[in-house]
Amino acid sequence: MAELFLTDEEMIRLTGRKARRLQAEQLRKMGVPFYLNATNIPIVARVTIEGHPGETKKPEPVWELDISTVK
């Protein structure tokens, strides 16, 4: 079974930082949701990065200007 949260090594790889404070700072810059646990260690839920198993992302709608009705 996969771990619920990213490992320490994965956090370093994701953020490029070893220091916990700098990891949290980088996660904020990247817009990655995270939690601070009771010892102020940033925690990222694996599902935040990998998505839900079997989940398929819906394509973004493409907006086009219909100029055929413009006079």
5 belongs to a structural domain: yes
Host H or E run for residue 27? helix 20-30
pLDDT at 55: 62
Residue 64 lies in a domain: no
Query: What is the mean pLDDT for each group of 10 consecutive residues in the chain (71 residues)?
Result: 87 96 96 95 92 67 72 66
Domain encompassing residue 42: 1-54
The dihedrals phi and psi of 36, each to the nearest 5 degrees, come to -105, 125
Q: Does the residue 1 lie in any domain? A: yes
In a domain, 59, yes or no: no
Q: What is the pLDDT of residue 67?
A: 73
Q: Specify the number of domains making up the chain.
A: 1
How far is the CA of 33 from the CAs of 1, 26, 43, 45, in angstroms? 23, 11, 9, 8
Residue 11 included in any domain = yes
